[in-house]
Amino acid sequence: MIRVVVDREASGNIVGFEVSGHAGYSEYGKDIVCAAVSAIVQTAVIGLTEILGIKIEYRQKAGKATCVIPAGLSGDQNEKINIILETMLCGLKSIEEGYGDYIRVEERRLN
């Protein structure tokens, strides 16, 4: 199962996320759940880095991807970042609605 954990700061802004595990919906290379999750997450990362020019802390290795948004950004930057990450979250929750046996999306509030 894929597990997605999205971290929010007290203001409600998304400040990071972690995606781990394997869907197990189908065999490697034919798993539509894995492909959909990967496409949504990679598109969000591209939006942050290439479109907004934000230097995020992003690590990806077999079965796990983590992203941390840097502190100290302007309000305008944070607003744009949040739009991209909220869109990513909506897409992942949509996958969870249809394929809940293969993906879990959780939100965690940080202090």
Compute how many other C-beta atoms are within 10 angstroms of the C-beta atom of residue 29.
7
CB-based contacts of 38, cutoff 8 Å, min separation 6: none
Say whether 22 is catalytic: yes
CA distance 101 to 35: 16
Q: Which of helix, strand or coil describes residue 87?
A: helix
90 is catalytic: no
Q: Which of 2, 34, 40, 69 is catalytic?
A: 34
How far apart CA 56 and CA 23 sit, in angstroms, is 26
* Catalytic member of 18, 22, 35, 77: 22
For the annotated catalytic residues, the residue numbers are 22, 34
